[in-house]
Amino acid sequence: METLINFLKEINLSPETIDFYYDFFELLPAKDTITKQKTIDLFITLLKKFLEIKPQSEVRELLEIQARSLKSFVLGDLENYQKAINDFFSFLKSHTTSKNPESEITK
């Protein structure tokens, strides 16, 4: 867990978002402790892969949006959930080159 928190701090996530991921992985049910650790390691590996290709600011933005959407789901907060989804699609729009209308999300 400590490795995860340190890693999230390194990429400058907001303290609220770090708290959320801490709670998420601490409470996450797992088959056993080894599997739980493996899951956390996998999350870190996935983010590191992202960071090899995408700028830190984008990875951070995605993680913040993800935390907001998951939080809203858990709380049953539809309004903020929709906001997070819209932010995600806006994020994609501004970070992809495809302007083909067929590939645009028409939500």
Q: Which residues are at the interface with other proteins (CB under 8 A)?
A: 19-20, 23-25, 27-31, 34-36, 38-39, 42-43, 45-46, 49-50, 52-54, 62, 65-66, 69-78, 81-82, 84-85, 88-89, 92-93, 95-98, 100, 102-105, 107
d(CA 60, CA 31): 29
> Smallest distance, Å, CB 10 to other proteins?
19
d(CA 92, CA 77): 23
> Smallest distance, Å, CB 50 to other proteins?
6
> Smallest distance, Å, CB 57 to other proteins?
14
